[in-house]
């Protein structure tokens, strides 16, 4: 696989105009974080190819995403959570893991069979997580069943994945593909890689005996509600050929992003929860586990309906995540569904949002 350099990331990839705007916006950030503390950690439940497991999700605080430093994706505010200076040492990263283990011991009755590690970047990028740390983390969790590590396709490499596979862990790489449509990924998300790179990464993971979990983003800026729905329906089906699990997540408005600027000026509305339900219902027959975890549901900056039915629809989505049964959506209804239908039919990308 190609070795990315900051120069390559900086020029000629993504849209220069998008990168320029994102750099200016990110320049406003003021927060700094302790390299000995993870960005976030929590316990949840996840549907995997080998069953539903209690999961420990860790967001490691690494130096942050290199692409984000060049400008980065239009919706991603994670760089604002990175440490100052750019890199975090092995010892500090292992301190973060210890904080997560302590959190698990305090908040769960048993050890989680599933460990998911995200870095707001690439866990497999050795400038973010050195090889020494990666191996130590694999050993730390060798008594668990499954492991998910997040990475951009460039860094997926069979030798790195072998650290986990050789510990007898069912290993998956979580790839933030966002959409299977190259034009939308480049022009709306400002992400630099192509669907073909994702396919190559899935082949590399397969050669290591690992699987792929694809993350999709519903409704990046500049797409109307109906375009966003169609983009997700086709993306879920195309991804299912290469990934055993697809996590389709609605865009939310994060601070210090282009999406935030657009939203502030009335030019962006996160997707309706009805749209999320519609994609899940339509793609229920795809050959993959398809889940969604709407963050900030029901709020103006998160995916939302009318305010009355948001919790109910969110509950149906979470039900679907575990049972994969599209009939859960027949049991929820609300008057606002008529408004949503009108938006889907009438909204155009040059005159939106049509409704709040
Ligand atoms: S979405 Fe991922 S690749 Fe894009 S800027 Fe954020 S962390 Fe980097
Ligand atoms: Zn409603």
Name the DSSP letter for residue 172: E
Distance from Cα 70 to the centre of ligand 1, integer Å? 10
Q: For 83, which DSSP code?
A: P
CA 209 to chain centre: 22
The per-residue pLDDT for 24 is 78
- Sequential DSSP letters for 9-57: HHSSSS-HHHHHHHHHHHTT------TTS-SEEEEEEEEETTEEEEEEE
Ligand 1 environment, Cβ below 6 A? 65, 67-68, 72-73, 76, 78, 120-121, 152, 176, 191
Question: Closest ligand 1 atom, CA of 121?
Answer: 7
Q: What pLDDT is stored for residue 32 in this prediction?
A: 63
Ligand closest to CA 333? 2
Ligand 2 ion local residues (Cβ < 5 A):
305-306, 308-309, 334, 336
User: Using one digit for the tens of pLDDT, what is the confidence trace for 72-92?
Assistant: 899 998 764 555 556 789 999
pLDDT tens across the length of the chain (356 residues):
444 444 444 455 557 888 888 877 777 765 567 889 998 999 999 999 999 999 999 999 887 777 887 888 999 987 645 555 567 899 999 999 999 999 999 999 999 999 999 987 899 999 899 999 999 999 999 999 999 999 999 999 999 999 999 999 999 999 999 999 999 999 999 998 999 999 999 999 999 999 999 999 999 999 999 999 999 999 999 999 999 999 999 999 999 899 999 999 999 999 999 999 999 999 999 999 999 999 999 999 999 999 999 999 999 999 999 999 999 999 999 999 999 999 999 999 887 888 88
Mutate to test the pocket of ligand 1, among 15, 121, 215, 255 (most ligand atoms within 8 A of CB): 121
Using the atom order of ligand 1, give the atom closest to the CA of residue 191: 4
Instruction: Pick the atom of ligand 1 nearest to 152's CA.
Output: 3
Nearest CA to ligand 1 atom 4: 73
Cα-to-centroid distance, 236 and ligand 2 (Å): 26
CA–centroid distance, 258 to ligand 1, in Å, is 13
For the chain, domains (ranges, CATH) are 6-346 (3.20.20.70)
Pocket test for ligand 1, best of 26, 78, 86 (most atoms within 8 A of CB): 78
């Amino acid at each position: 696989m190609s070795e990315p350099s900051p120069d390559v990331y900086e020029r000629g990839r993504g849209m220069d105009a998008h990168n320029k705007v994102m750099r200016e916006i990110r320049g406003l950030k003021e927060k700094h974080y302790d390299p000995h503390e993870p960005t976030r950690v929590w316990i949840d439940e996840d549907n995997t190819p080998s069953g539903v497991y209690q999961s420990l999700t860790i967001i490691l605080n690494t130096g942050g995403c290199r692409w984000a430093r060049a400008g980065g994706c239009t919706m991603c505010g994670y760089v604002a959570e990175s440490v100052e200076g750019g890199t975090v040492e092995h010892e500090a990263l292992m301190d973060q893991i210890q904080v997560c283990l302590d959190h698990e011991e305090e908040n769960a009755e048993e050890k989680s069979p599933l460990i998911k590690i995200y870095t707001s970047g690439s866990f497999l990028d050795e400038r973010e997580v050195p090889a020494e740390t990666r191996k130590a983390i694999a050993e730390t969790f060798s008594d668990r069943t499954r492991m998910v590590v997040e990475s951009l396709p460039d860094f997926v490499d069979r030798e790195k994945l072998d650290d986990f596979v050789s510990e007898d862990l069912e290993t998956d790489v979580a790839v933030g593909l966002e959409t299977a449509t190259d034009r939308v990924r480049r022009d709306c998300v400002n992400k630099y890689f192509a669907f073909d790179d994702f396919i190559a990464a899935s082949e590399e993971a397969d050669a290591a005996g690992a699987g792929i979990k694809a993350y999709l983003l519903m409704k990046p800026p500049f797409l109307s509600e109906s375009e966003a729905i169609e983009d997700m329906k086709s993306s879920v089906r195309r991804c299912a050929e290469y990934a055993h699990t697809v996590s389709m997540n609605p865009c939310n408005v994060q601070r210090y992003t282009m999406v935030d600027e657009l939203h502030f000026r009335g030019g962006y509305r996160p997707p309706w929860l009805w749209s999320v339900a519609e994609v899940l219902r339509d793609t229920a027959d795809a050959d993959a586990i398809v889940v969604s975890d709407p963050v900030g549901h029901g709020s103006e900056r998160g995916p939302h309906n009318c305010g009355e039915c948001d919790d109910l629809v969110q509950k149906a989505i979470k039900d679907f995540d575990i049972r994969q049964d599209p009939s859960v959506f027949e049991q929820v209804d609300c008057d606002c569904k008529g408004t949503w239908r009108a938006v889907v039919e009438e909204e155009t990308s040059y005159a939106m949002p049509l409704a709040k």
